[in-house]
Structure 1
Amino acid sequence: MEHRLSKRVPGKLGLLVYKRGMPVATGQIRDASKRGLFIATDYSDVQLNQTLEIEFRFPEREERHFRRLKAHVVRISDKGLGVDFDGVENDTFTISSLLHWLGQHHRSVEYFPVRQSQVY
């Protein structure tokens, strides 16, 4: 039985994944909580406990700048990455804004579409 410390909000929002300050992958937020995210991506060049940055923007807001959050990788699966905000410095307003936006938008928004691995 899984015990979560905060409620998960489902949603879909495209993002970029950064490693050591460089963009390395695209992905899509599938669910989020105050403590972390699950990112659907086919990117696999990561290790548990590694710090990554994710960058996104809210598409229909007038602001045009991107937002960035730091997170530690806590789960790696063939469907994506589970990341946790605990232990890294982040703007709690950005996390709250993300949760609110995901709760209000149930459709898929893919500014950075997830690459699908080709099957041969």
Structure 2
Amino acid sequence: MHFFYRVTEAECWLAAQKTGFFVSPDLLVTGFIHASPQQQVLTTAGLYFAAAAEVLALEIDMALLQAAAVEVALVWRGEREATFAHIHGPIPVSAVRRVLKLQSNATGQFSFCPESAP
């Protein structure tokens, strides 16, 4: 299985559970949902979610996205030395295999909560 991770605020995940689909503001602005490889999750959280109260990482199964006919483009970002996923549509909740809690310390650096570490 191949996974990418969407870092998000907890309230966005709660909304997805009500509708059956995860939709983030970037889908409306750029036309796709940004997702990170596992090794970039904590950096992504620090860059974009430092002020958020409760931060999660949604573990997305790419095979389940493909089965749901959701288009995904893989994009290399040299400055971060990683390939990221651009998910062109709402993510079915059924494609999210795990929800991992993140925590930040006093300096704003994120880590996985022990009970949900990958």
TM norm. shorter chain > 0.5:
no
TM-score (norm 2): 0.36
TM-score (norm 1): 0.36
Q: Which has the higher helix share?
A: 2
